[in-house]
A and B are shown apart, each in its own frame.
Chain A
Amino acid sequence: MEKVLEVKDLKVSFQTYGGTVQAVRGVSFDLHKGETLAIVGESGSGKSVTSQTLMKLIPMPPGKITGGQILFNGEDLVPKSDKEMESIRGKEISMIFQDPMTSLNPTMKVGNQIMEGLIKHQKVSKADAKKRAIELLKLVGIPMPESRVNQYPHEFSGGMRQRAMIAIALAASPKLLIADEPTTALDVTIQAQILELMKGLQDKLDTSIIFITHDLGVVANVADRVAVMYAGQIVEIGTVDEIFYDPKHPYTWGLLASMPSLENDGNDELAAIPGTPPDLTNPPVGDAFAPRNKYALAIDYEEEPPMFQVSETHFAKTWLLHPDAPNVEPPDAVKQRIRKMSSNFDKPVLVKEGK
């Protein structure tokens, strides 16, 4: 399948009064056409910074890309200027933000906010742009789009605003859509509708999607693959089945064990991961997760684990996959769900530097 995006060893840091925050510390992944990649992880793990860096939307300064490549259709975005990025933002890559209440301009009509991108990227006339804006509003399921197009955001409900945001993002039919927790601020029924809408549109337009979320339950519904982030790194990445039914990283175990599910509602306690994420101004030596990890090995405190490849699509960054590592059992909540993956290699393979 055609690769739309390839991120290689991306590093981003922020200069703050307290020192340099290494928000993203060597993230690599790729994304194919029409595919949905979910990025999950605790608050502060660098999901938003990673995704905004793909469009170079992080404020620079204080932010800075300190290393790596962002290959979009084979072209590296990192060295591009702001001016050059303008023809990519909104046209090739679009973004939907978390809070629909604040991500629309309150003093501009919703229609105009959709039209802006069209006029900029597709060089259409104002009248045509308006026609298209009405079509888009209809496409995202807003009733009476002809009158809604002339309204202001405060006249829309939260769910409708997020639909309008999707219309804005899709206006120029981008190849990649980044959705940063698009449903977190919405109530559950609206969430389901918005997810349904995004999936439907993806099928129609064949867009690739990066879907950022806290909610593992949502992931199973929308994603093809999942990347688990911790302290600015991807610690495990694989297909949805691999992550849900054959997770290898103790942090992923922790996330899965703390996920409420229908089977264990209320019976067993949710196993929250103890402790807090590390301070990214001074990332610890070794594995950043070690202090919170009850499976941590001695080496975890000394040397950062390398990436091990478990199958063609499944990678995990933990010493537990090393041939010399002791055999450990995941927590019960996770063990119950483990399935044998036929696609797994015989043994995890150490990935050489540079992947």
Chain B
Amino acid sequence: MAKYIGKRLLYMIISLWLIVTATFFLMRVAPGNPFASEKKLPPEIEANLQAHYGLDKPWYQQYTDYLVNVVTWDFGPSFKYKSQTVNDLISEGFPVSFLLGMEAIFIAVALGVLFGVIAALKQNKWQDYTTMAIAVLGISVPSFIMASFLQYFLAIKLGVFPVARWESFQHTILPAIALAAGPMAYIARLTRSSMIEVLANDYIKTAKAKGLSSGVITVKHAMRNALLPVVTYLGPLTASILTGSFVIEKIFGIPGLGFHFVTSITNRDYTVIMGVTVFYSIILLVAILLVDIAYGIIDPRIKLAGGKKGE
């Protein structure tokens, strides 16, 4: 197990290095620069700025400097927000995004699984048709439309929730729902089909032949097996919550990392773009590793390579 995790960590470092390199060069070939704004700066000042941020050095030196900085967890200063470093932005925005993301993941998984299981148990009955119709909607409606829809009806018309901003728990609910809707619908469909497949298995008949009640069979025998594909989806789910948060945070005016990321892109704030990209990559890679480990624990047939037993 330890050997397995060690190997995975090594792969993660290699992936990260590739990501850092790729973002670095993509940023360089992208047209424009952070100081190209409406007002043309006098050339001396611009040269000064370039020197201050090390942009006058040759590219390979910038690249190695950046690599060293990333390793020491220093993403440098923001080009746009004079007094802030990228580290400041991350430590300020990430807790907000993390809370929002966790809330959304929780909603997506809990409700998605619940709906999926209900639909499977009531296959081809009205419960099934209703949940699956809602799921199709959830998958096909983009999150920004979902967000505006929620804002309009639940906040503006009914006044149940605040429209935007990030102040209390109340404020977190609409954005979390908007963010969770798509993944939740996907999980519901995934759970349904995998549950139906599992319920047709011989071992469910065995469990029934033992005299177990249908509740016990559903929870102990069917769901554990049916949720394996859902666990696999948790990696991509993290990714889609991450990317979804860019839009949602912008719409709801939430001061999270996604919000800063989007702002920094419009501002061509290179260091922030690169720093946040690297940071997101780390989160994703860690999430995928955790999912794989969890999978090995839940499914005893999967032996995590390198370890002795998947127990």
Interface residues in chain A, defined as those with a beta carbon under 8 Å from any beta carbon in chain B: 55, 57, 82-83, 85-91, 94-95, 97, 99, 102-108, 113, 116-117, 120-121, 152, 154, 165, 168-169
* Residue in B205, B211, B298 whose beta carbon sits within 8 Å of that of A107 in the complex: B298
B210 near A107: Cβ-Cβ < 8 Å: no
B206 in contact (CB, < 8 A): yes
Q: Which residue of B lies closest to A88 (CB)?
A: B211
CB closest chain-A residue, reference B203 = A105
A103–B209 CA distance with the chains assembled, in angstroms: 11
| Chain A residue contacts of B301, Cβ below 8 A | 106-107, 152, 154
A90 touches B209 (CB 8 A): yes
Are B209 and A95 in contact, CB atoms less than 8 angstroms apart? Answer: yes
A109 to chain B: closest residue by CB: B300
Q: Which residues of B contact A103 (CB under 8 A)?
A: 202-203, 205-206
Task: Please indicate the chain B residues that have their CB under 8 angstroms from the CB of A108 in the complex.
Answer: 220-221, 224
A245 → B minimal CB distance (Å)? 35
Is the pair A90, B210 in contact by a Cβ cutoff of 8 Å?
yes
B21 at the interface (CB under 8 A from A): no
A-B contact pairs, 5 of them (CB 8 A): A86-B211, A89-B208, A107-B298, A108-B221, A117-B210
Indicate which residue in A97, A107, A113 contacts B225 across the interface (CB closer than 8 Å).
A107
Q: Assess whether A107 is in contact with B299, with CB atoms less than 8 Å apart.
A: yes
A104 touching B203, Cβ below 8 Å: yes
Residue B207 at the chain A interface, CB threshold 8 Å: yes
Partner of B210, one of A83, A152, A168: A168
- Closest beta carbon of chain B to A155's beta carbon, Å: 8
A57 CB contacts on chain B under 8 angstroms: 205, 208-209
CB proximity of B301 to chain A, nearest CB, Å = 5
| Minimum Cβ distance to chain A for residue B231 (Å) | 12
Which B residues are in CB contact (< 8 Å) with A89?
Answer: 208-211
Q: With A99-B202, A152-B301, A154-B301 given, is the CB distance from A105 to B213 under 8 Å?
A: no
Cα separation A226 to B77 with both chains bound (whole Å)? 87
> Do A91 and B209 have beta carbons less than 8 Å apart?
no
Whether B212 pairs with A105 at a CB distance below 8 angstroms is: no
Closest to B301 in A: A154
Q: Considering the chains assembled together, what is the distance between the CA atoms of A102 and B207 in angstroms? A: 12
Please state if A116 and B210 are interface contacts (CB–CB under 8 Å).
yes
Residues in A with CB closer than 8 Å to B83 are: none
* Interface assignment of B214: CB less than 8 Å from any CB of chain A: yes
- Cβ-closest chain B residue relative to A165: B206
Q: With A90-B210, A120-B212 as known contacts, state yes or no: A107 contacts B202, CB within 8 Å.
A: no
Contact of B214 among A82, A99, A152 (CB under 8 A): A82
Residues of A within 8 A of B300 (CB): 106-107, 152, 154
Asked whether, in the complex, the Cβ of A90 is within 8 Å of the Cβ of B211, the reply is yes
Chain B positions 277-311 with a Cβ under 8 Å from a chain A Cβ: 298-301
* Contact flag A97-B211 (CB < 8 Å), given A105-B225, A106-B225, A154-B300: no
B221 contacts which chain A residues (CB < 8 A)?
105, 108
Q: CB-CB contacts of B183-227 with A at 8 A, as 1s and 0s? A: 000000000000000000111011111111110000011001100
Contact across chains for A107 and B209 when beta carbons are under 8 A apart: no
C-alpha spacing A60/B307, complex, angstroms: 45
Most chain A Cβ neighbours within 10 Å, of B206, B208, B213: B206
Query: Which chain B residues border A154 with CB–CB below 8 Å?
Result: 300-301
Known: A90-B211, A121-B211, A154-B300. A168 touches B220 (CB 8 A): no
Q: Cα distance A223–B73 when bound, in Å?
A: 76
